[in-house]
Every structure is written in C-alpha cells, then in structure tokens.
Amino acid sequence: MTEKFFNLCDNAPTYAERTAHLFSWCEGNYNFPAPSSLFLDIVGYSEEHYGENLTSRKMPALGYLEIDLLAKAMTEYATRPAEVYAFIEELMDSYNQED
C-alpha cells in the first residue's frame, strides 16, 4: 500500500467520499476480508480483476458501523456507478503499488 492510496482517500471526489471513507476505515480497523472486500465483490470489481470474489464464505458477520459504512458507499455507487467504479480502480491501483 502506498501514500497515494491514503491521499486518494483523503481527497476523494465528492461523489466517492463515502466509498473512500469505507476503504480508509477498513485499512486501519480490519484484517482481510474487510467490508471493503465485500464492496469490491458486490460491484463486480473482484471478479473482473481477480477472477473470483474475495469474500466467498469467509466474510465475518458485520456490525452496525460496518453495515452503515458499506451502505453509504453502496448508495454512492448506485447513484454514480461509472464514476465510483473509476475511482475504485484508481484507488486499488494505488493500493497495489509499491512505495
């Protein structure tokens, strides 16, 4: 993970602020699989980029905070799917880069 990942999270476009918050929060508070992994599965990113879902049968139960963060990110995606998906691609590219 890189500094660019956190910069993108901190400076997300308005239409993807909740999505960025989900990813940023999960990074500091969750081990894999995180609610952000479930988000990637739901929007089809995991299948498209990894060939499989990230959370298949190993996702722990989510608490109310996690569900709230996930729901807000999903609302952004439902409202502006192409733009949020493009942001996710940029965010995940930065996550997978080495410093």
Per-residue pLDDT tens digits for 66-91: 999 999 999 999 999 999 999 999 99
Tell me the pLDDT tens digit for each residue of 26-71: 988 877 788 999 999 999 999 999 998 888 777 778 899 999 999 9
Nearest to 3 by CA among 99, 78, 84, 83: 99
pTM: 0.89
- For 63, half-sphere exposure in the C-beta direction (CA atoms, 13 angstrom radius) is 4
Report the number of distinct structural domains present in the chain.
1
Domain that holds residue 49: 3-96
